[in-house]
Structure 1
Amino acid sequence: MKVLMFGWEFPPHISGGLGTACYGLVKGLVHHKQDIIFVVPKLWGDEEPLADFVNASGVTIDYREKKFRQIWKNLTYLEVGSFLVPYLSPEEFKKYTDYAMHDRVDVDESVFSNKFEFSGKYGKDLMMEVSRYALVAAQIAKSKEHDVIHAHDWLAYPAGIAAKHMSGKPLVAHIHATEFDRSGESVNKPVFDIEYAGLHAADHVVAVSHLTRNIVINKYGVHPDKVSVLHNAVLDSSIIESKVKKKVPEKIVTFLGRITFQKGPEYFVEAAKKVIDRDPNVRFVMAGNGDLLNRMIDRVAELGMGTRFHFTGFLKGQDVDDMYAMSDVYVMPSVSEPFGIAPLEAVRHNTPVIISKQSGVAEVLQNAVKIDFWDVDAMADAIFALLHYPSISKMFKELGSEELKNLKWEHVAAKLVTVYDKITKE
C-alpha cells in the first residue's frame, strides 16, 4: 500500500516527540512492506532514507488552477505574532489577523509564488506556512500515486484535507497532542479550529492514548467508532549501559522536558522542597526550556533551594542520554500528557521513573510509580522511597526493562496497517 504521509519534522532535525514518533512509525511501516511518501516543509538532506521523502519547498504549483483556488479559498491566512510549536506548548498569541484575502479575485500575486520556500521551523510566520503547505500538499496528492493519506497533528491537518480534496483518497488524522493538552481550557481558537476540521474531515482518527481518545470524543465531538488508540513505542528496547559518571556524591532527581503548563514543572519544584527538607543531600535537576522557566527559577530561590536545584537549559543528543544515566530518579509530573516517551527512555537507562496518572504512557508502563500530578506529597514520598530503599528501586529497574521488550514500533505499525486496510475498503 502507498501511504502519502504529511509531517512537520523528521529526525535528525526535530524539536520534540512528534518527529521521533514519525520516525518510529515510518520505520515500523517499512518493516511491514508499506511504501511511504513522507512530506515535510523542508528537507535537510541527512534524513535516513526510509521513505520517498518530498521536500515541500521544492514543489512547483500553479494556484490559478480551479481546484487549487478552491483549496486556497478555504484556508485561513493568519499572521501569528508569537512562537507556536506543534507537539509542544504554544506561547500566548500576541496578535492574529485574518486578512480575508482568499475571496478576492484580484489578489496580489506577490502573495503567491510558483514555488513556496518553507523555513521548516516554528516561527512567527507559522500559520502562513501551514496554509501554503496545504496548497503544496494538493499538488503532491495530484502528482504522487497513493492509496491513503496520513497527517500528523494540527500543522499537517490542512495539508491532509487538501490532499483528500484533490485525490479523493481516505485520510487518517494522527493526533499526538490536543490544544487542551497544551493550553488547558484556555485554548487558542485558531489551533483548535484546525484540529476540529482535521479530525472531522478524517475517515479515521488515531490517538496516542485512551486519554487522548477521550478528549477527541468529548471535546471535539468525534464519533467513538471513528477513533482508535495506537500507543507510542521505543526505537530500541535494549538497556543502555552508560559509562558516564556523576561529578557529585549526592543522589540526582531529574525533570527533563519542556518547562510549560502541560508538563507540571511547578509540582516538581514543590515536591523537591519537601524531599530536601527530609534529606538535604539530594540534588534536583530541571532540564529544558519554556515559558515557565523564569517563574520556576524565582520559586526555587524563594524556597531557598538554590544550592540543591540546577537548571541546565535545553538538552539534546548525548547530553540527554548522559542526564538520564546520571539520574537516580526521573519524574514526569505532567498535567496532561497525551503519551510521553521520555519515561521509556529513562527506563532504557536503568533509571526508575515516577509518572503522573494523567499521562498516556501510564497506560502501557505498569512498572513505574504513578501519582496524580497535583499530589506533591505523594510525589515527594515516592522520590524519597526510590532514593532510600534500594530494593524498591532495583525492582522497578528490572521489571521496567522487561516491559520495554513489548513496546516496539513494528507492533504499532501492524495495527495501523489494519486501519489502512479498513478505510481503503469502505
Structure 2
Amino acid sequence: MGVVKTEIISRKCIKPSIPTPPHLRTFKLSLLDRILPDFHPDMTFFFPSNSLDNFSTKSQLLQKSLSDTLTHFYTFAGRFQDEVTVCCNDDGNYFIEARTDISLSDFLRLPDLPSLIDHHLVPSNDKETVKMANGSMLLVKFMSFSCGGTALSISSSHKIADLGSVMLFLKSWSSACRGSPDPIKPDLNLGPSIFPVIPIPPGSESLVMPDKKFVQRRLIFSPDKIRELKNKILTDILGKSYDHDNQYRLSRSEAVIAFIWKCALDSSKSKTGQFKPSALVQAVNLRTRMDPALPENSFGNLSWLFSMIVENEKEMELLELVKQLKLWKESLNEKANKFKGGEQEVRSYMKELLDEKDEILVKRKELLVYMVSSWCGFPLFEIDYGWGKPFWMTHIAKNLVANAIYLQDTKEAGGVEVSVNLDEEEMNIFEANKELLKFASFNPTIN
C-alpha cells in the first residue's frame, strides 16, 4: 500500500435539497429487504482526464446533483429505526473528496489492484468517514489523480437497494448532474406492496456464507473467446457443428458461469483428491422474470438467491452443467411469480425458500457452495455525469465471501469480466488450468 499516497481533502454531509414531507418520514422495509444483511456493496467508475472542468468544479456538480437526487431517493438519506423501518429524517449521506500523487494509468498498472482499490477508493473502508456517517445508507468518494483522471466510488446499503435499484439511482443522479430538467423518480413503495412484511424465522435474516481466507483474481473473456466457448459447448451438446441458427440459445453468462464453476470444481478435486457435491447459488433479478414485468423505476430489493446442486461427478462435465443450468434458468420465471401470491402463499413460499437456504448453507456441510452474481446486461458503462463515460468500472467484492464468482460486461461489447474468489491453494490450480487459459486471460492490462 506504500506505493500509493492518498489525501482526504474534505468530508461533507449531503442532504436532500428539499426536506422529505412528514407523511413520508416512516418507510417500512419489504420482506426481501429484511432478509438481506446490512452490508455495503461498492462500485468504482474510472474516468479519463479531460479539459471540460477541473476536479473542484466536477465535485461541486456531483454534490449539488446528489442533493437534488436524494429528494426523490429519500430512503438513502435516512437511518434504520429498527429491523423493519427506515426513518427518512434527511440525515444525509457522506461525500469524500480525495486526491493522489499518482497518475490513473500508473495506478491501474500496479500489482494487486483489487487490494489497492479496496484500500484507497472504497468509501466504506474509510474508518473516520464511517464513524462520522453514523449509519449512512450511502457513501461516496471522488478521487483526483495527478493526470486529471478521476474515480467515483459508491457504497450503498444492500438492505434497501439491490443492483437494479442502485442503477436507477445512478441514472437519476448522473442525469441531474448533466443538467436534465426531468428527474428520474423511483417507485419506493412497490417492493413493500408486492413483498409484504411478514414474520420470518429467527436466524433467517442473513444470506451471506461464513467467511474464510481467500484470494481474488480477475479474468477477461473477449467477445471472440466467448463465441469460441459457446461454440464448443453447443457442439458438444448438439453432437454436431453449431451453425449459429439460434436453435439452442446460450447466453454469455450461462456459458461463462458453467465454465468457471467446472474449473473451480476441478481445482477443488485436484486439491483434495476427491469429488464433493456442489451448489451454485445465484442472485436473480425478479423484475424481468415476473409476468407482467415490474416497472423500470422499481426500487428496493427485488432479487432473490436461487440454487442448483450437482450431486455426482458425472454431472460435473461442462455440457451437463450447461444443460442443468439452462433448465434451472427456465424454471426461474415460475419461481419468481410465486412471490406475487397472497400473503399466505408468500409466507408458505418464503418458508420453503428459507428451508432450502438453510439446507444448502447450514445443514449440508459436505456441499461446496459457490455464490454467483452477474451484472451482465446492466448499462454500467453508460453512466455519464457530463464529462464522458467511464473507461472501466469494477466491483471489489473482497469484503464478501470465498468461493464467489462475479460477472460484468467489458466495455467492449460482447465480452465478460469475471472476478473469482477461491482458497489460495485452489486458486493456484485454477490459474494453471490449460482449458481455462484457452478462453480467458488473467489480470490483463486496463487501457
Task: Please identify which structure carries the higher strand content.
Answer: 2
TM-score (norm 1): 0.29
Task: Please identify which structure carries the higher helix content.
Answer: 1
